[in-house]
């Protein structure tokens, strides 16, 4: 079952394969509360509120990324409308998600991508929105270099540094370079995105990410090959 569909699983009590990481929950464990869903909805709604005004574009972007099945739309709409009144409490939502997916950084980056999609929807990412995103990234455990890489993938930094695109330092070894490339490629592979249930809007972003990742890896290998000669 895809990650994003679990946004509303608390309504039907579907199994959550992520919830029991490292715990003896047994095969009968089920999601029987709204904690996960409310954290995700709240974080997205408060992203829309981060610059002080919730626009129609931001609401539309939220609906694109946090897409719900028909039977859950009214529930999610009410939760969104309540959460968007203030940004207070967003850090608590972020911590809940960070705890739940601490062993699944690709999922947390999917959430970051969704938040960036909302922030960019009105054509500008303000300083207050950037601060919100930075704080969420910190809570999720992303390093400053990783946050810079994520911003770069959304076109918010004018930087063609291939090392920045891969989120690594220029002095990494060739083995570290390969590991970084494989890690980034596996996170953005179409099959991985489909398995996580990532919506079409973020899948299109991942296509661009993958192209940039491949180009960065090729550029570094060419550079190092030239230097060795």
| Each residue's pLDDT tens digit, 50-79 | 988 898 898 888 888 877 667 767 777 887
Q: Supply the pTM of this predicted model.
A: 0.80
- Whole-number Cα distances in Å, 174 to 169, 194, 220, 221, 225: 12, 30, 10, 9, 11
- Whole-number Cα distances in Å, 100 to 17, 115, 140, 185: 11, 18, 10, 23
Chain segment 174-216, per-residue pLDDT in tens = 999 999 999 999 988 878 888 777 777 788 888 888 999 999 9
Q: What percent of the chain has pLDDT over 90?
A: 35
Distance (Å, whole) CA 105 – CA 186: 12
Q: Which of 21-30, 104-113, 131-140 has the highest mean pLDDT?
A: 131-140
More confident residue, 93 or 3: 93
Is residue 90 within 8 A of residue 132, CB to CB? The reply is yes
Is pLDDT at 89 greater than 80 in this prediction? yes
**Residue 73 has what pLDDT?**
73
Element (H, E) at 11: helix 9-12
Is pLDDT at 149 greater than 70 in this prediction? yes
Confidence of residue 12 (pLDDT cuts 50, 70, 90): very low
């Amino acid at each position: 079952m895809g990650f994003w569909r679990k946004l509303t699983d608390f309504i039907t009590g579907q199994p959550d394969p992520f919830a029991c990481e490292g715990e003896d929950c047994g095969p009968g464990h089920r999601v029987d509360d709204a904690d996960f869903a409310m954290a995700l909805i709240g974080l997205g709604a408060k992203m829309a509120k981060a610059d002080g005004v919730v626009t129609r574009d931001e609401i539309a972007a939220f609906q694109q990324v946090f897409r719900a099945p028909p039977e859950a739309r009214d529930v999610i709409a009410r939760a969104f409308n309540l959460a968007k009144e203030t940004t207070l409490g967003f850090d608590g939502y972020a911590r809940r998600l960070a705890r739940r997916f601490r062993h699944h950084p690709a999922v947390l980056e999917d959430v970051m991508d969704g938040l960036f999609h909302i922030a960019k929807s009105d054509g500008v990412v303000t300083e207050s929105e950037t601060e919100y995103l930075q704080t969420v990234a910190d809570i999720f455990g992303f390093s400053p270099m990783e946050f810079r890489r994520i911003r770069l993938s959304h076109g918010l930094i004018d930087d063609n540094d291939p090392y920045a695109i891969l989120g690594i330092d220029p002095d990494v070894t060739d083995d570290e370079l390969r590991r970084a490339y494989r890690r980034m490629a596996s996170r953005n592979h179409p099959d991985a995105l489909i398995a996580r249930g990532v919506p079409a809007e973020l899948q299109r972003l991942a296509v661009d990410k993958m192209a940039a990742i491949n180009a960065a890896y090729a550029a570094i290998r060419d550079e190092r090959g030239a230097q060795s000669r």
